């Protein structure tokens, strides 16, 4: 029985519970034990009580506030913090029948692409434990791929759901900005942050999105998705047009490009039209992103001052000294770097040159996608330029780490939805293919991804 | 590009204490990152409107009905040094 559960998608488990073949309690307990026994560093906290539920329980990235449950966003400055309220997205899941299984490890404040910036240690990739799982939602991705969670949620600011999903061989969806509430998500960059599912397959992602999305009076930028999100059923791609971008980019691994080309060949076999597409300014996305995101972060992280919650360092000095020492002790290197970049970019005399220009590049990228979607229904790219890399390999070179986000950042800047699905293996490691569509086209993206997923027939190897 | 003095100035603005070693490392790292970011300097962006928000939104208003907020004692629960009804801090001019 227990090994059977491991073989089932979350949606199949939900059907089993609905049909009375499984009980919510036995499903919860199965996954709870799996989570407790996790050896990859994927969890920072696991539920000690069985909450049952009409859906399988969900692993939640640490930066989601859950009432009474440690929620540190992977940071020392929030060590031991237990929020007095629960994030809307998590509440939506609970009300839908999916209770919290545990809190997953992540890069501190979601800043990173390898999960090595967590104050609580790295996460290992279940495909090869000497490799990173990607980031920043590395714990959520490793838990789902490694079979210690049936499904999970993460957040994506510049690729933090899609890139770890790609590196761990699972599905990751970043919804349209404004589809899912950000209330109770510990903020990184507020104009970009978005919550979404990390799941075994596309159907599970659709089922979870259905629970997550919706207007929220506590987040005035959240408008929800109009209409129902049906579970995907498409088996063909006839009449749909796919625009391919990025396969000739410098820095793209040959093995990754080959797997993506093969998957694009599948699109054609399924009746989809494929053409190359130009996104002239998308290549500048990283530069714009690494101004905008740190700028917003430097403002958002001003709240960690040792006064209202979290760490306080005392040094017998005055109030300013308390602020400075607390932030010195509580933040890790990458967070400090981004606060510095952001503060610099927003400082007097530099604002127009950096932040102002970056926002104009953002406009150009929005326009690039708008033009593309006049010619095609979807834009298809590799999710990550490389497969999973060695733990420690890029920690000494922040800029090299930032390049991991090259293909995912343009969609974030444009606020449009994009899913990463496993497209195959390169040297035995998973490769993700990214499919993006216009704002609020999640249902169409997932339908297309479903057809392609069936045709690719990817077999997740870990999860043992 | 950014020099040591600028790093110290920005750290002060950000209320971030840095050790000498951190200042040293940060100077090099920030220069490299900003060097990459400055590629956008070369773009002709005259007449392009900046984008700060991607979803078209009208003002979002709710009914003006009072509702409960977080009780004070809950809000103070996570404080490192709560005193009475507030957060205790050292004097701004203690040193």
CA–CA gap between residue A11 and residue A19 (Å, rounded) = 12
The pLDDT of residue A462 is 72
Question: Could you tell me if residue B92 is inside a domain?
Answer: no
pTM score, whole prediction: 0.97
Query: Which range marks the domain in which residue B6 is found?
Result: 1-41
In DSSP terms, which residues pair with A197 in a beta bridge? Answer: A153
Token digits of residue A264: 């694009």
Please report, in angstroms and rounded to a whole number, the separation of the first and last CA atoms in chain A: 15
Q: Which residues contact A459 (CB under 8 A, 6 or more apart)?
A: none
Is there a contact between A106 and A118 (Cβ–Cβ < 8 Å)?
A: yes
Q: Domain with B14 in it: what CATH number?
A: 1.10.20.60
Quote the pLDDT of residue A4. 86
Say whether pLDDT at A178 is over 60.
Answer: yes
Q: Are B50 and A360 inside 8 Å of each other by CB?
A: yes
CA distance A123 to A135: 9
Q: Are A28 and A53 in contact (CB under 8 A)?
A: yes
Task: Kindly state which CATH superfamily the domain A2-278+367-456 is placed in.
Answer: Amidase signature (AS) domain (3.90.1300.10)
A117-121, A248-252, A401-405: range with highest mean pLDDT: A117-121
What is the rounded average pLDDT for all residues in chain B?
A: 90
- Closest approach of chain B CAs to the CA of A450, in angstroms? 27
Distance CA A298, CA A296 (A): 5
Does residue B81 belong to any structural domain of this protein? no
Q: Would you state the pLDDT for residue A461?
A: 66
Percentage of chain A surpassing pLDDT 90? 94
Neighbours of A375 (CB within 10 A): 12
Residue B31 corresponds to which tokens in the numbers above?
A: 């220069």
Over the stretch A9-42, which tens digit does the pLDDT of each residue have? 999 999 999 999 999 999 999 999 999 999 999 9
Q: Cβ of A248: how many Cβ atoms within 10 Å?
A: 9
The predicted-structure confidence for A200-259, as pLDDT tens digits, reads as follows 999 999 999 999 999 999 999 999 999 889 999 999 999 999 999 999 998 999 999 999
The chain-wide mean pLDDT, for chain A, equals 96
Residue B72 lies in a domain: no
A360-371 confidence digits (pLDDT tens): 999 999 999 999
Are B10 and A324 in contact (CB < 8 Å)? no
Which band of pLDDT confidence, cut at 50, 70 and 90, is reported for residue A314? confident
Question: Do A133 and A388 contact (CB within 8 A), yes or no?
Answer: yes
Do A198 and A144 meet the contact criterion of CB atoms below 8 Å apart? Answer: yes
**Residue B83 located in a structural domain:** no
Per-residue confidence (pLDDT) for residue A108, from 0 to 100: 98
pLDDT above 60: residue A2: no
Chain B residues with CB inside 8 Å of A439's CB? Answer: 54-55
Decide if B43 touches A, using CB distance below 8 A: yes
- How many Å apart are CA A56 and CA A323, to the nearest integer? 42
* pLDDT of the residue at B57: 78
Return the H-helix or E-strand segment holding A448. helix A442-456
A374: exposed, middle or buried (Cβ count in 10 Å: 0-12, 13-18, 19+): exposed
Give A464's pLDDT tier (boundaries 50, 70, 90): low
- Using a pLDDT cut of 70, give the percent of chain B over it: 98
Position B65 scores a pLDDT of: 93
Q: Is the pLDDT of residue B21 over 80?
A: yes
CATH 3.90.1300.10 domain extents, chain A: 2-278+367-456
Within-domain flag for B27: yes
Count of domains in chain B?
1
Give me A172's structure tokens.
């990751």
First-residue to last-residue Cα distance in chain B = 34
User: Does the pLDDT value for residue A83 go beyond 70?
Assistant: yes
**In which band, very low, low, confident or very high, does the pLDDT at B59 lie, cut at 50, 70 and 90?**
confident
pLDDT range class, residue B89, cuts 50, 70, 90: very high
pLDDT recorded at residue A463 = 63
**Statement: residue B52 has pLDDT above 90:** no
Whether A183 and chain B come into contact, CB under 8 Å, resolves to no
Please list the helix, strand and coil fractions of chain A in percent, rounded to the nearest 5, in that order.
40, 15, 45
Give contacts of A 351-380 with B, CB under 8 A: 353-354, 356-364, 366
User: What pLDDT was estimated at residue B94?
Assistant: 56
Nearest one of A371, A375, A370 to A241, comparing CA atoms? A375
What is the residue-wise DSSP string for A353-381?
Answer: IIIIHHHHHHHHHHHHHHHHHHH-SEEEE
Q: Do A398 and B93 touch (CB under 8 A)?
A: no
Indicate which residues of A carry an active-site annotation.
Answer: 61, 136, 160
Task: Verify cis geometry, omega within 30 degrees of 0, for the bond prior to A136.
Answer: yes
Angstroms from A319 CA to nearest CA on chain B:
5
Element (H, E) at A421: strand A418-426
The interface predicted TM-score of the complex, written ipTM, equals 0.94
Mean pLDDT of A382-394: 97
For A425-444, b/e burial (b = at least 16 CB within 10 A) is: bbeebbbbbbbbbbbbbbbb
Q: How far apart are CA A417 and CA A413, in angstroms?
A: 11
């Amino acid at each position: 029985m227990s090994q059977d559960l491991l073989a089932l998608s979350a949606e199949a488990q939900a059907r089993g519970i609905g049909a009375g073949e499984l009980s919510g309690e036995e499903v919860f307990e199965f996954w709870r034990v799996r989570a407790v026994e996790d050896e990859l560093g994927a969890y920072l906290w696991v539920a000690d009580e069985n909450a049952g539920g009409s859906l399988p329980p969900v692993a939640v990235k640490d930066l989601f506030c859950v009432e009474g449950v440690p929620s540190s966003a992977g940071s020392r400055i929030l060590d031991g913090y237990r929020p007095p309220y629960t994030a809307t997205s998590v509440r939506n899941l609970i009300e839908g029948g999916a209770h919290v299984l545990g809190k997953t490890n992540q890069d501190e404040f979601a800043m990173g692409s390898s999960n090595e910036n967590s104050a609580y240690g790295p996460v290992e990739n279940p495909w090869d434990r000497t490799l990173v799982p990607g980031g920043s939602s590395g714990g959520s991705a490793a838990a789902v791929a490694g079979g210690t969670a049936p499904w999970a949620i993460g957040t994506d600011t510049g690729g933090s759901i899609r890139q770890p999903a790609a590196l761990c061989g699972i599905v990751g969806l970043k919804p349209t900005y404004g589809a899912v509430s950000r209330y109770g998500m510990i903020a990184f960059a507020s104009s970009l942050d978005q919550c979404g599912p990390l799941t075994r397959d596309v159907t599970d992602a659709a089922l979870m999105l259905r629970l997550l999305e919706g207007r929220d009076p506590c987040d005035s930028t959240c408008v929800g998705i109009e209409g129902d999100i049906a579970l995907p059923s498409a088996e063909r791609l006839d009449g749909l047009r796919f625009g391919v971008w990025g396969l000739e980019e410098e820095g793209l691994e040959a093995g990754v490009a080959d797997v993506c080309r093969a998957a694009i060949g599948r699109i054609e076999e399924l009746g989809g039209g494929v053409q190359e597409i130009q996104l002239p300014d998308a290549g500048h996305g990283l530069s714009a992103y690494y101004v905008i995101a740190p700028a917003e972060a430097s403002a958002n992280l001003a709240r960690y001052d040792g006064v209202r919650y979290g760490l306080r360092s005392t040094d017998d000095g005055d109030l300013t000294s308390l602020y400075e020492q607390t932030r010195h002790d509580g933040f890790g290197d990458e967070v400090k770097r981004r606060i510095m970049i952001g503060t610099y970019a927003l400082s007097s005399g530099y604002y127009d040159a950096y932040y102002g220009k970056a926002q104009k590049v953002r406009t150009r990228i929005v326009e690039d996608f708008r033009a593309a979607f006049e010619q095609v229904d979807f834009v298809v790219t590799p999710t990550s330029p490389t497969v999973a890399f060695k733990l420690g390999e890029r920690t000494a070179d922040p800029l090299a780490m930032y390049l991991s986000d090259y293909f995912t950042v343009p969609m974030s800047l444009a606020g449009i939805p994009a899913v990463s699905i496993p497209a195959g293996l390169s040297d035995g490691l998973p490769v993700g293919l990214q499919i993006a569509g216009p704002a609020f086209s999640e249902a169409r993206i997932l339908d297309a991804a479903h057809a392609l997923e069936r045709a690719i027939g990817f077999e997740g190897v870990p999860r043992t | 590009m950014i020099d040591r003095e600028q790093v110290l100035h920005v750290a002060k603005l950000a209320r971030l204490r840095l050790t000498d070693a951190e200042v040293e490392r940060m100077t090099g790292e920030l220069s490299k990152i900003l060097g990459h970011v400055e590629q956008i300097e070369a773009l002709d962006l005259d007449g392009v409107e900046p984008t700060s928000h991607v979803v078209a939104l009208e003002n979002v208003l709710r009914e003006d009905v009072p509702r409960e907020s977080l009780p004070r004692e809950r809000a103070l629960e996570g404080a490192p040094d709560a005193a009475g009804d507030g957060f205790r801090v050292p004097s701004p001019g203690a040193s």
